[in-house]
């Protein structure tokens, strides 16, 4: 796991997605001095500070390789369902836990399941489903597009076509 980043490097924060290390700063927090990565999250522009010594435990990691991206894209071809049927609140909690894991594969499983709900049902996704889908998309799309050297729009079209093809 990559735990040493330089200014200008891309890094993935498990809760916020793809970011760029814009600075490494020394700060005093709660009476203790330390060095921090300053990340600008590309999706939102938000600034996130991660202690250097805690980068790995926080889940900060480098961008996936093209091979890793292929493995994540394979998730969209699987016919399995990550979360079984049951009450929406139970499924929602399970999906939220999968998103919190920081694992691109788990995030892809959430996105795949929600794309299928969207494409299989004749009705719109609920607010909660749309929110989870948007969160999964934000966590995954930029990183996959960067890893595969294609645009985000092309990556989204590829994901959608993989999901639809897996349904037939």
Query: What CATH number has the domain bearing residue 159?
Result: 1.20.58.1290
Q: From the first residue on, what is the mean pLDDT of each consecutive set of 10 residues in the chain (168 residues)?
A: 78 93 90 90 93 88 95 92 83 92 93 85 80 92 95 93 82
Domain range spanning residue 44?
A: 10-58
Global confidence as pTM: 0.86
Tell me the β-bridge partners of 20.
10, 40
Query: What CATH number has the domain bearing residue 42?
Result: 2.40.10.170
Claim to verify: residue 120 and residue 45 sit in the same structural domain: no
- pLDDT at position 2 is 39
Question: Which of 142, 110, 115, 105 lies closest to 17 in space, CA to CA?
Answer: 142
Question: Which of 68, 158, 52 lies closest to 112 in space, CA to CA?
Answer: 158
- pLDDT at position 87 is 82
């Amino acid at each position: 796991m990559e735990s040493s980043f330089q200014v200008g490097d891309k890094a993935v924060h498990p809760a916020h997605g793809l970011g760029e290390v814009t600075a490494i700063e020394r700060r005093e927090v709660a009476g203790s001095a330390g060095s921090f990565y300053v990340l600008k999250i590309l999706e939102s522009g938000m600034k996130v500070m991660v202690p250097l010594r805690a980068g790995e435990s926080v889940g900060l990691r480098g961008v996936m390789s093209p091979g890793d991206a292929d493995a994540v894209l394979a998730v969209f071809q699987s016919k399995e369902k990550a979360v079984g049927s049951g009450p929406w609140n139970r499924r929602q909690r399970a999906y939220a836990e999968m998103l919190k894991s920081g694992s691109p594969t788990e995030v892809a499983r959430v996105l795949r399941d929600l794309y299928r709900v969207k494409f299989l049902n004749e009705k719109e996704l609920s607010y909660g489903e749309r929110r989870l889908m948007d969160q999964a998309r934000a966590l995954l799309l930029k990183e996959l597009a960067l890893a595969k050297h294609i645009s985000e729009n092309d990556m989204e079209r590829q994901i959608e076509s993989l999901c639809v093809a897996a349904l037939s």
